[in-house]
Structure 1
Amino acid sequence: MTTVVLDARDIARIIGTIGRNEVMDRVTDRLLVALRALANGEGGITPARDGFIREANGQGCLEWMPHHEPGKSVTLKTVAYSPGNPEHCSLPTILGTVARFDDVTGRLVALADGVVLTAIRTGAASAVASRLLAHPDSSVVGLIGTGAQAVTQLHGLSRVFDISKVLVHDIDPRHVAGFPQRVEFLGLDVQIAPAAEVVAAADILCTATSVEVGAGPVFQDAGVREHLHVNAIGADLPGKTELPKDLLERAFICTDHIEQALREGECQQLGADAVGAHLADLCAKPELAQPHRTRTSVFDSTGFALEDHVAMDVLLELATELGLGTTIDIEYHPADALEVYPPLQAGDRLVGITAG
């Protein structure tokens, strides 16, 4: 039995052949279906992620994120958040690997890089939440933080809103200077502006920063539009938050995973009573979101493994369509399941160590 491996070249060929828009649309549409199923008790089991806090290369973490589809499969993503990577190691801030296991036998079915997958599914989740909660006439998008995640945040939104202007801000001048070129494929008017100007003009605001623990918020609650919708995706550690508490206290708050949001998302500033809805419930009953589209709303997005599971499904399906992926015998399956060591071949010899 073999394992399918999607390497970096496979991921690049999938996106290059199918197209960025088609991949984003497929993940967004499939995520909406999966979230509706979750609300109806049919979406499988997604425990809160767990992991280690790491002090090396800037305070970060290494986490594991499981999703269980009973009787079918288990998807497990390991993901590392290392804020010092771009400057010190020329690597993305977020690195990850996604594994798919057969739930009946436990064997490893597929393995893929998780960097692009994570960025796409996070952008897709914000697109789903924004379509539900943002004002339907939203046309100005603001971005605080212009790293890799900001690209797919804007891409996802561009697929569900008619965007007329994009205002961006980042404390790293190199990141913000290169952002317009990185999103040139979207054909949008992208302008660099101070944080206060970005927040004041935005109908939809995305915060995707590497703010340090205890250093937030990344903008002030002043002069924002009454109907502002915020996709807050940067909080992923206890004590790390991006949004001002005053804004959270008056906003309608939606989470993708409540337990995670209370532990390491924006909701850690408030508590469980502040959570207005789970994203899955709004997907199943959009009418519940309707009254909140003209007021301040926040999608507290900590990211959870159902999203990775859906994105992995899409990538594997596209790889099959295109004939991509490498099959390897990564697991040892002896003819006799009780035999640990492979049989000796001609010419092999045992080397013993005699005491004394």
Structure 2
Amino acid sequence: MSAVNHNPEPSELAYVPFVSVDNMMRNVRAIGVEKALMGIAEYIEEDFLRWESFDKKPRIPAHAPQGVIELMPTSDGKTFGFKYVNGHPENIRDGLQTVTGFGVLSDLATGYPVLLTEMTILTALRTAANSALAAKYLAPKGSTTMAIIGNGAQSDFQCLAFKEMLGITEIRAYDIDHSASLRLARNLADSGLNVTICKTPEDAIEGAQIVTTVTADKKYATILTDNMVGSGIHINAIGGDCPGKTELHKDILLRSDIFVEYPEQTRIEGELQQLPEDHPVTELWQVFAGQVAGRTSDDQITLFDSVGFAIEDFAALRYVHDLLPKTGHFEKLDLLADPDDPRDLYGMVLRSSPENGNQAA
């Protein structure tokens, strides 16, 4: 569990631990990407196993033609966390990230934040960790080959997570931008994974037990058609994560056992947009808890309709909060007002500032 101090000294509350992008990279390098992925997956599983303890709601979106900005809040009754995240597929044309984010973890007892962190890198890590965690329960046992269709910023993390948590050794990569596949192969050259760059999606899924789709375009797309999907595979569908954005042909869904994080959100944003509201799904936390079976037969098609959920971000924030005392890679951010008398905020504004020599009027 997170080591949030619920009885801190007042002086401790004046500054908030802040993890910049630079310090997040330092933290990840300090322990290794694979270890970070494993650690976040453990925290996600812990929090899914106490699912009923959390406040749950679909994320709060602000849509524009170019993309979406979302807030993803949740609380376990002691700690509150939220993530701000955007999704703007066309940003890549201007040299910008398609997804950026930051997050906050706060103590409910005081209302004070205990962590402010970048969540662009952290979201990539938690998404990959969650994918591999779900596949541990849903993918065919002994899987060695994964196809990954869409070789953008998320793909490297996905490949490493599946290697570390499921023992994947072969990656079959496809992207409409060949340079993206070349970049992925180059980044993974020393990872222990054998990367084959494929010319078509059909080529990529040949011989794969797991298929990950992680494309970026905000549109109803058909990355996988029904005739491409044989029995017995596991599909990790990540790219369909907002209204008006899908990757799979509807008939694939009708043939699959579908697993989701939070149905109320996935029916709005995931591949489930294509199906009636009453189409049966299984909640992932029930599988983790052993209440419902995951994979039950060799010819079963399992589909993780992944859109990302606030509890996963909460777990990732907890992980970083607990990691910082071990690595020390963070700054103390002067974010919170700290008057000598809590009732005299105005007096604090007027008092002299040793830093700049200003005197109260």
What's the TM-score, normalizing by structure 1? Answer: 0.91
Which residue is 2:88 aligned to? 82
Which residue is 1:208 aligned to? 214
**1:338 aligns to 2:348 (yes or no):** no
**1:25 aligns to 2:38 (yes or no):** yes
Write out aligned runs for 1:37-76 (5 A).
37-38=50-51, 41-42=52-53, 44-55=54-65, 59-70=66-77, 72-76=78-82
**1:247 aligns to 2:252 (yes or no):** yes
Deviation at 1:129, TM superposition (A): 1.1
Deviation at 1:180, TM superposition (A): 0.4
Greater shift in the superposed pair: 252-261 or 281-290? 281-290
Write out aligned runs for 1:78-157 (5 A).
78-88=84-94, 90-157=95-162
Question: Runs in 1 of length 4+ with deviation above 6 angstroms?
Answer: none
Write out aligned runs for 1:193-232 (5 A).
193=198, 194-214=200-220, 216-232=221-237
Question: What is the rounded CA distance, in whole Å, between the counterparts of 2:29 and 2:274 in structure 1?
Answer: 41
3-state DSSP of counterpart to 1:94: coil
Amino acid at match of 1:204: I
3-state DSSP of counterpart to 2:140: coil
Question: What is the rounded CA distance, in whole Å, between the counterparts of 1:227 and 1:138 in structure 2?
Answer: 11
Question: What is the rounded CA distance, in whole Å, between the counterparts of 1:342 and 1:145 in structure 2?
Answer: 56
3-state DSSP of counterpart to 2:222: coil
Deviation at 1:199, TM superposition (A): 2.5
Deviation at 1:160, TM superposition (A): 2.3
Residue 225 to residue 247, structure 1, CA distance change in 2 (3 Å): same
Which residue is 2:3 aligned to? none
Structure 2: runs of 5+ lacking an equivalent: 1-12, 353-358
Question: What is the rounded CA distance, in whole Å, between the counterparts of 2:253 and 2:75 in structure 1?
Answer: 32
**1:11 aligns to 2:24 (yes or no):** yes
Deviation at 1:138, TM superposition (A): 1.5
Residue 327 to residue 104, structure 1, CA distance change in 2 (3 Å): same
3-state DSSP of counterpart to 1:168: strand
Residue 294 to residue 32, structure 1, CA distance change in 2 (3 Å): farther
Q: Deviations over 1:107-152 (max 9, x none)?
A: 1221000011101111111111111111102211001100111111
3-state DSSP of counterpart to 2:347: coil
What's the TM-score, normalizing by structure 2? Answer: 0.89
How many residues matched? 340
Amino acid at match of 2:24: I
Instruction: Assess if the C-alpha contact under 8 Å between 2:38 and 2:165 holds in 1.
Output: no
Instruction: Assess if the C-alpha contact under 8 Å between 2:260 and 2:283 holds in 1.
Output: yes
Q: Deviations over 1:206-230 (max 9, x none)?
A: 111112323x111222243311111
RMSD of the alignment, in Å? 1.7
3-state DSSP of counterpart to 1:104: coil
Question: What is the rounded CA distance, in whole Å, between the counterparts of 1:323 and 1:264 in structure 2?
Answer: 38
Question: What is the rounded CA distance, in whole Å, between the counterparts of 2:273 and 2:102 in structure 1?
Answer: 27
